[in-house]
Amino acid sequence: MIRDSVINEGFNVAKPWADAAISKRPFSGNTGSVDDKGNVQRNLNDANFNRMWEYNNRGLGSKVVAEPKQ
């Protein structure tokens, strides 16, 4: 999990991580989907995606909208 971070515009959002070291499986991830109440939903057991998630990040390189700092 990448959490509470500032990710600037230089971050490669198309391929943020290298392929897996042993299996050489390419990185595949998503930012989840939003339910009717506006909450982000993620299936952490979805085998189609690597288990790398963003949470509460901000900056031009982050697709996840941060909660306002208080």
Tell me the two tokens of residue 16. Answer: 């943020």
What are the extents of the domains in the chain?
1-63
**DSSP codes of every residue in the chain:** -EES-B--TTS-SSS-SPPPTTT-PPP-----EE-TTS-EE--TT-TTS-S--EES-BSTT-SSPPPPP-
| pLDDT one-digit tens code per residue, 18-63 | 887 888 877 776 667 788 998 878 777 777 777 667 777 788 777 6
Q: Is 58 exposed, middle or buried (0-12, 13-18, 19+ CB in 10 A)?
A: middle
Minimum mean pLDDT among 2-6, 22-26, 46-50, 65-69: which range?
65-69
pLDDT at site 22: 84
